């Protein structure tokens, strides 16, 4: 019998796309710049033509206590998945929000957590079951001392971790780890392995924290076009027992630029502080976007809680 915090078996996945930025900062990577991801998820249908998911996409809107009323009360009663775009540099999540996200994860909720270079997303360090999969500059650095050095040397204002996979608006060729994870298999194209992600000049660092080797694995790696060094793009963690609860599945992603409009279509524009010249590969070869959209769909299905059983893609 399902516990009081679990949803009954249903066909619809309730997903929260949430940034850690306030809605009052329009010249930033606010949620409206994730419109292509949002609309794609809303467009997905099951075999009967019904929507596969209910999508709520939002920025932070702090209440009188400084916490977001949705994020600070997050639970399986309302949502099944959280796709967290941590775009702050340390002050993006309050203690109440961290407690709610941790509780949601313990209720079996699936979480995709992503950030970017250096200390972007640093507030995730306060998420005990999520933040350990991310490496930062001033806290929780990569345990490999050889990686504590700049990779992207073209943007001098940004330091490690800052892996250069290519220009915004270009593609990068990903390196799947063996055996190929379900996240990288495009079922709509006869099981073809996904080969390309959007590129970005300074991706962040993700890895497997100590004590998680038995249920987490690196799914895909990228390769720096500056140093030739390989780095982790995606880490996936299976459901696991933790303090008497079964945690939901987790995806740790090296950069939110794999999801944002600007990297899927540079004509959508970007905040004024972005000064790296964009590439043209995505505009010239739009068919390559089928890979990243297949990945979005796979992530939606893979992260769904164990008590939800929609038809497979």
**Residue 131 belongs to domain with CATH number:** 3.40.50.880
Tokens representing residue 78 in the block: 């309302």
The number of folded domains in the chain is 1
Whether 74 is covered by a domain: the verdict is yes
Residue-wise pLDDT tens digits, 130-178: 999 999 999 999 999 999 999 999 999 999 999 999 999 999 999 999 9
Q: Which domain, by its residues, includes 156?
A: 13-303
Model pTM score: 0.95
Whether 311 is covered by a domain: the verdict is no
Whether 310 is covered by a domain: the verdict is no
Residue-wise pLDDT tens digits, 179-224: 999 999 999 999 999 999 999 999 999 999 988 778 999 999 999 9
Whether 7 is covered by a domain: the verdict is no
Whether 152 is covered by a domain: the verdict is yes
Whether 36 is covered by a domain: the verdict is yes
Whether 4 is covered by a domain: the verdict is no
Contacts of 237-245 with C-beta under 8 Å, sequence gap 24+, read: 237/133, 237/212, 239/108, 239/215, 239/306, 240/214, 240/215, 242/106, 242/129, 243/106, 245/106, 245/107, 245/108
């Amino acid at each position: 019998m399902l516990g009081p915090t679990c949803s009954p078996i249903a066909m619809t996945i309730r997903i929260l796309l949430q940034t850690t930025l306030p809605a009052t900062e329009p010249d930033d990577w606010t949620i409206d710049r994730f419109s292509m991801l949002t609309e794609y998820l809303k467009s997905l249908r099951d075999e009967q033509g019904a929507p596969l998911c209910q999508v709520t996409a939002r920025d932070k809107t702090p209440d009188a206590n400084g916490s977001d009323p949705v994020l600070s009360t997050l639970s399986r009663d309302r949502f099944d998945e959280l796709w967290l775009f941590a775009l702050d540099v340390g002050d993006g999540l309050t203690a109440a929000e961290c407690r709610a996200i941790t509780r949601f994860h313990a209720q079996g909720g699936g979480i995709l957590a992503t950030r970017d270079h250096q200390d972007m997303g640093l507030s995730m360090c306060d998420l005990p079951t999520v933040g350990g999969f991310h490496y930062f500059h001033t806290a929780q650095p990569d345990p490999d001392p050889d990686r504590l050095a700049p990779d992207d040397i073209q943007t001098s204002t940004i330091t490690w971790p800052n892996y250069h996979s290519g220009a915004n608006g270009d593609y990068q060729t990903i390196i799947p780890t063996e055996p190929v994870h379900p996240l990288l298999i495009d079922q709509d194209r006869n099981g073809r392995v996904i080969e390309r992600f959007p590129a970005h000049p300074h991706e962040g660092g993700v890895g497997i924290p100590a004590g998680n080797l038995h249920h987490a694995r690196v799914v895909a790696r990228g390769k720096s076009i500056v140093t030739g060094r390989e780095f982790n793009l995606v880490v996936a963690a299976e459901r696991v027992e933790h303090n008497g609860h079964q945690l939901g599945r987790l995806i740790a992603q090296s950069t939110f630029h794999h999801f944002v409009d600007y990297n899927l279509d540079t004509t959508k524009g970007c905040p004024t502080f972005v000064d790296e010249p964009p590439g043209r590969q995505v505009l010239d070869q739009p068919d390559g976007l089928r890979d990243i959209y297949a990945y979005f769909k796979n992530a939606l299905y893979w992260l769904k809680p164990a008590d939800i059983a929609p038809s497979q893609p």
